[in-house]
A and B are shown apart, each in its own frame.
Chain A
Amino acid sequence: MNGFPVHRRVRSMTSAIQLRGVTKRFLTPSGGVYTALRDLNMTVEPGEFCAVVGPTGCGKSTTLGLISGLEPPSEGEVDVFGKPVHGIADGIGYVFQTDAVFPWKTVLENVAAGPRYHGVAHREARNRAKEWIARVGLAGFEDRYPYQLSGGMRKRVALAQSLINGPRILLMDEPFSALDVQTRALMENELLNLWSASSASVVFVTHDLEEAISLSDRVFVITAGPGTVKSNYKVDLPRPRNVAEIRFQPHFIEIYEEIWKDLRDEVLVSYERQKRGAA
């Protein structure tokens, strides 16, 4: 199990995700125009695990909104598996930063929601949900409501809820940022296990460079807003990885230093702006 399964590395004809010259503007409540992304280009290959890092407010989450079809771009094109995105496409999973599991559904109903929305029969959906609940380590918690679970357990529910639909693309928006450090490392390893058993491409948004490198095959650095891709780095660390330990490897530190040089400038720009904004 060293290195990647071959099919991940083969460059197929169509990329999983392609953003070409994408600009996204929003109207501010005061009537002004806010440009979140400007002329952003990004390509993600099938089965690739990509991380997107950048300073706060650089439009990382906006990028995920565009790929998922929740938001249309103001300019430019977004393709998913070679097809332009119009509205929400099938085969997309999205794990949100905030808790987005449904508080009035039990764990089982939450996980079964996806198949049920796709017209799978009730019993069949429940059986599949039970399988996924066991796979994310929540067997025995099927009848609990989200408020009865810890933050880490709710994230497991969110993961199962997304993965049960068998997404070809999994979008993750700082999913573990609210977790404590130990739970976070556990969840990161769990995620890598689940991902390696699937063939999904992942776009993982985070502000934590360490997390980005330890998880991904490729790291995109986004500039301080309006966001555009400043650079992208290949992370050629061997898999399977143990997230808790990989950060001590010399090669990890090399990669970290290289990317940090790029990222630091953007963080500083963003920080200066915030200071000025606050003053």
Chain B
Amino acid sequence: MNVRSAAQLRVAAPAVQEQGARVVDLAGRRRRELRRRQLTVYGLRLAVAVVILGGWELGSRAGVIDKFFWSQPSDIAATLWRWASQGTDLGPLYEQVLVTMEETVGGFIVGSILGVIFGVVLGRNRLLADVLSPYIKGANAIPRVVVGALLSVSLGLDIKAKIATASILVFFVVFFNAFQGVREVERSLIANARILGADNRRLTTEIIIPSALSWIVASLHTSFGLALVGAVVGELFGATEGVGELIYLSKNLFDTAGVLAGMGLLAAMALVAEALITALENRLIRWRPSATFDERRI
């Protein structure tokens, strides 16, 4: 993108000696502008955090915000510190985070793989799609988190129920995107591949899936958040460890700082995962012009 165009400008420079200096100068200025903009963004982000957290803290200290119900940032930070240094009521903090992460990632992976498989198979087979579509739409219409209640009974209190709940939430999002992606594959690309000699397997793996991949990967951003929801809801329905369970315990003790500290942990986990998914996306969809990345980057 911009870094690259700057590089191109530099390559072009030696060709015309007279203008060379000016071109390099321009490229340098462009780079400096970019760096300055980046710093501005970071600075403003920090400012937003300071305003929100600071306002909250001041509000609760001044008595405008009821500390019992809404806690305050310093208490939340203290709770997090206590959990980190002395451990939580359920054991060391990192274990709780790891358990929830395991459930989330497990559900995310299982749900995505099943979603892609079903999406591709049904997208390729119109009859099957027409037969199954009312059932899928019906299942999708159920508020699916309640399935967690059923699964916590039938699969027990361990990790299986949470992974199952998370994967059900993930499945539908990925499925609908994969299905649509398969349906939207450019006809001429399929015709071209068939003329070049691709059999059905090659058509699926080399044309249809890569083409649907931009749809699928886009859905992964949403579905990781849903996997986290599934895992936490699963923990709320019954668990012995995990961040969700931590939140549940704090709630029972009217410890709002604990609830909010748990939420903060979940948000941090989601942000880290989001960064990883974006990296994955950039790797999987290298072939797309980077302009689309720029437009989508927030």
CA distance A98 to B189 in the complex (A): 9
CA distance A117 to B196 in the complex (A): 7
Residue from B188, B195, B199, B287 in contact with A104 in the complex, judged by beta carbons closer than 8 Å: B287
Q: Is the CB of B286 within 8 A of A100?
A: no
Shortest distance in angstroms between B121's beta carbon and chain A's nearest beta carbon?
A: 21
* Neighbouring B residues of A100 by C-beta, 8 Å: 186, 188-189, 191-192
* Neighbouring A residues of B63 by C-beta, 8 Å: none
For B259-298 the 0/1 string (1 means CB < 8 A from A) is 0000000000000000000000000011111000000000
Q: Is the CB of A104 within 8 A of B192?
A: no
Question: Which one of A96, A98, A103, A148 has the greatest number of beta carbons of chain B within 10 Å?
Answer: A103
Query: Looking across the interface, which residue of chain B has its beta carbon closest to that of A109?
Result: B206
Chain A stretch 78-133: residues in CB contact (< 8 A) with chain B = 88, 90, 92-94, 96, 98-106, 113-114, 117-118
Q: What are some 30 contacts across the A-B interface (CB < 8 A)?
A: A70-B191, A70-B195, A92-B195, A93-B195, A94-B191, A94-B192, A94-B195, A96-B191, A98-B188, A100-B186, A101-B192, A102-B189, A102-B193, A102-B207, A104-B213, A104-B285, A106-B287, A113-B196, A114-B197, A117-B193, A117-B197, A117-B199, A145-B286, A145-B287, A146-B287, A147-B287, A147-B289, A148-B289, A161-B192, A165-B197
Q: Does A214 contact B (CB under 8 A)?
A: no
* Neighbouring B residues of A147 by C-beta, 8 Å: 287-289
Q: Is the CB of B191 within 8 A of A117?
A: no
Q: Do most interface residues of chain A lie in helix, strand or loop, or is the interface mixed?
A: loop
For B162-196 the 0/1 string (1 means CB < 8 A from A) is 00000000000000000000000010110111111
Q: B residues near A, CB below 8 A?
A: 186, 188-189, 191-199, 202, 206-207, 210-211, 213, 285-289
CA distance A178 to B206 in the complex (A): 27
CA distance A118 to B194 in the complex (A): 11
Q: Is the CB of B197 within 8 A of A104?
A: no
Query: Looking across the interface, which residue of chain A has its beta carbon closest to that of B213?
Result: A104
CA distance A139 to B207 in the complex (A): 25
* Neighbouring A residues of B186 by C-beta, 8 Å: 98, 100
Q: Is the CB of B196 within 8 A of A165?
A: yes
Q: Does A68 contact B (CB under 8 A)?
A: yes
Residue from A88, A102, A103 in contact with B195 in the complex, judged by beta carbons closer than 8 Å: A88
* Neighbouring B residues of A99 by C-beta, 8 Å: 188
Q: Is the CB of A161 within 8 A of B197?
A: no
CA distance A30 to B270 in the complex (A): 49
CA distance A101 to B194 in the complex (A): 13
| CB-CB nearest 3 A-B residue pairs | A117-B197, A100-B192, A104-B210
Assuming the contacts A96-B188, A100-B188, A104-B211, asked whether A113 and B288 have C-beta atoms less than 8 A apart, the reply is: no
Assuming the contacts A104-B210, A104-B287, A145-B286, asked whether A114 and B188 have C-beta atoms less than 8 A apart, the reply is: no
Q: Is the CB of A70 within 8 A of B197?
A: no
Q: Is the CB of B191 within 8 A of A118?
A: no
Chain A stretch 174-205: residues in CB contact (< 8 A) with chain B = none
Assuming the contacts A100-B188, A104-B211, A117-B199, asked whether A70 and B288 have C-beta atoms less than 8 A apart, the reply is: no
Shortest distance in angstroms between B287's beta carbon and chain A's nearest beta carbon?
A: 4
CA distance A208 to B132 in the complex (A): 49
Residue from A70, A103, A148, A162 in contact with B194 in the complex, judged by beta carbons closer than 8 Å: A70
Q: Is the CB of B195 within 8 A of A68?
A: yes
CA distance A164 to B287 in the complex (A): 23
Q: Is the CB of B287 within 8 A of A105?
A: yes
CA distance A98 to B188 in the complex (A): 7
* Neighbouring A residues of B206 by C-beta, 8 Å: 102, 113
* Neighbouring B residues of A104 by C-beta, 8 Å: 210-211, 213, 285, 287
CA distance A267 to B193 in the complex (A): 34
Shortest distance in angstroms between A184's beta carbon and chain B's nearest beta carbon?
A: 20
